[in-house]
Amino acid sequence: MKGAMAQFRLHDWNDVRLIIACAEHRSFAAAAIAMGVDQTTVSRRISNMEAAIGRPLFTRRKSGATPTPAGEALLERARAMAAWPATSKAPCRG
């Protein structure tokens, strides 16, 4: 990954969940339903991430959306973030 993609950080947990949902459902509409938000919200958030990165994250077609190579790279990071609580052995103490 080069440039903006290498420096892009997923700071919002909802964006992490959104990237995963879009990839798993292969559809912005289905991801929106799964997340309980409007499709316009999904499209806007994906577009905002694409603008920040400078590359498309998904190829959009009438039949659905599939991750681009940049989308796959971000998806890998999102899945690692989502899995971290389950795989972390560090104790949480107050």
pLDDT digits (tens, 9 = 90+) for 23-80: 999 999 999 999 999 999 999 999 999 999 999 999 999 999 999 999 999 999 999 9
Q: Kindly list the domain boundaries of the chain, sorted by start residue.
A: 3-83
pLDDT at 88 over 70: no
Sign of torsion over alpha carbons 18, 57, 74, 65: positive
C-alpha–C-alpha distance, residues 24 and 26, integer Å: 6
pTM of the model: 0.78
Class of domain 3-83: mainly alpha
